[in-house]
Amino acid sequence: MNLSTVYANALHEQLHELFTLEDIVSLIERPKNKQHGDLAFPCFQLAKQYRQSPSDIAKQLSGAVKGTLIDQTEAIGPYVNVFFRKKEVSKKVLTKVMIEGNDYGSVKNDKGVVSIDFSSPNIAKPFSMGHLRSTVIGQSLALLAQKNGYQPVKINHLGDWGTQFGKLMCAYTKWGSKEEVKSNPIPALMKLYVMFHEKAAQNPSLNDEGRAWFKSLEDGEAEAVQLWKWFKGESLKEFQKVYDLLGVQFDRVQGESFYNDQMNEVVKELEESGLLTESDGAEVVEVGEDMPPCLIKKKDGTTLYATRDLAAAIYRKNTNHFHHALYIVGGEQELHFKQLFHVLKKMGFDWSSHLFHVPFGLILKDGKKMSTRKGQIILLEEVLQEAVQKAKSNMEVKNPHLDDIDHVAKQVGTGAVIFHDLKNERLNSVEFNLDQMLTFEGETGPYVQYTHARAQTILERSVVEVVSTFDGLNDEHSWEVIKLLSEFPKEVQRAYAAFEPSIIAKYTIRLAQSFNSYYGKVKILDHDDQVMNRLALTKSVTIVLKEGLRVLGVQAPPNM
């Protein structure tokens, strides 16, 4: 039960000729001063229709709005403010949370498949902090999609094809050591990749050699294929260590190379439809005056990202029959996806309007972008391991007798890194600071996890068993918590509609802060006639915090 919807329904009875229910919901605000009410409706947009001042309209409307859960409405300037019946509302909210449990906020009807392309690290390069954002945003959106009634298909579109592999092969054959790559594959390959770019800056002809090696790979020449398979196998082993730490699994791991045998068909279809034209020896598709043409084949005949992404989109639609598809890729690829979607539309695929690029900002170190080419990266596996160790050190001070401290430290450490990323709005860049991520105070993952564990401990200490029948609470201290609990289903819907996990992260912070304030003012375990209601509230907080963290990809340990 969402209070905004309850209020909107009451308002709609009076304003249905002027506004839809959705319009009214969008206009409802939360008063800055809670003494002025629980929710407020501005009357500015009614002034023209009624030819009266917003304040006069508010006075008239306040007397007309009624509802079984509404205690009173009053006009405060141009606003109609509502006060709800605390006891009745709290009973309904807590009953719903307790009965539905982890399903609270879930949409039951099947809305179809959503294809989610995320993470997508490049083979033969380290899994750096730069790949964290796509991975955790994609994982959270998959969980939110499921919570909203969709069936997510999670795809890891590995960067396992392209000119960079020609450059790496060139570097390996010139300066590489088989023994060094075998003993420590990713650092050794990264060293070669960085070396190639440093030397190519002085000797540009190296770039031609790199392109020639990639052409050999595309042509299936044995030496190039053998090196490529070796680099790929070693990389996948290293990547899996990171995915295991993050708790991320994929339904399909299909790199760019998976679509190699499908690209000729795409090029043929573009030719037959008259979309393919020649430009300086290359083959392109014109996509509009406001964008450069989409490059399909280079003049040497090699394919590009666009060719493979066209094949991938068509394959996924034919295979998954998705309702819509998401590409969780950094904002610097915005032009690429605009071109891709335009080409698919010109090919006559109406479903191209159901494809969405979900961009995000950078992870910065000391305000600067990390670069694999220059060797300026922070390895994600090392960050996660350090976070786990720091979390363990913190807990050894705070709770030295904690059972299974290593397991909890892993949940807290990795959760801190994930939460720190997701609490930031997706399009904003994020400054990397491990100490900030791991603090138990402030707007952090450990703070939310600790609040959940604190509430769980209260329930364990209670001699009264929590049941799902109770009268409801009527005090001011619990009311802020109740209102926040009622908002969770709406926040789940809003987060997925905006492809914005930060909405849930910020919600869990607000709920944790509100419950901690309640805990500081109320003796929850006092044995009076309200103890069952307070325990129901505490239990509901544990349910919603745990579920809120889950859809972010963060675990909620019962003890910390």
DSSP readout, 337-398? HHHHHHHHHHTT-GGGGGEEEE----EEETTEE-BTTTTB--BHHHHHHHHHHHHHHHHHHH
Q: What is the DSSP letter of 293?
A: P
Per-residue model confidence as pLDDT tens digits over 423-477: 999 999 988 888 888 888 889 999 999 999 999 999 999 988 887 778 899 999 9
CA pair distance 423, 500, nearest whole angstrom: 9
- Type of residue numbered 62: S
Q: Which two structure tokens, joined as six digits, stand for 228?
A: 């490529």
Per-residue model confidence as pLDDT tens digits over 457-471: 999 999 888 877 788
CA pair distance 405, 157, nearest whole angstrom: 35
Q: Smallest Cα–Cα separation from 546: which of 91, 90, 104?
A: 104
Contact 166, 207 (CB under 8 A): no
Q: Hey, which residues does 81 pair with through a beta bridge? A: 40, 74
CA pair distance 480, 34, nearest whole angstrom: 9
Q: Report residue 498's pLDDT band, with 50, 70 and 90 as the boundaries.
A: very high
Q: What is the DSSP letter of 429?
A: -
- Strands (DSSP E) found in 303-366: 324-328, 355-358, 363-365
Q: Which two structure tokens, joined as six digits, stand for 126?
A: 């380290």
Q: What is the DSSP letter of 372?
A: T
Q: Hey, which residues does 283 pair with through a beta bridge? A: 278, 297
**Domains in the chain, please, with CATH?**
3-84 (3.30.1360.70), 162-234 (no CATH), 380-550 (1.10.730.10)
Q: Which two structure tokens, joined as six digits, stand for 48?
A: 């023209």
Q: Which two structure tokens, joined as six digits, stand for 552?
A: 């972010």
Per-residue model confidence as pLDDT tens digits over 118-159: 999 988 888 888 889 999 999 999 999 999 999 999 999 999
CA pair distance 502, 495, nearest whole angstrom: 8
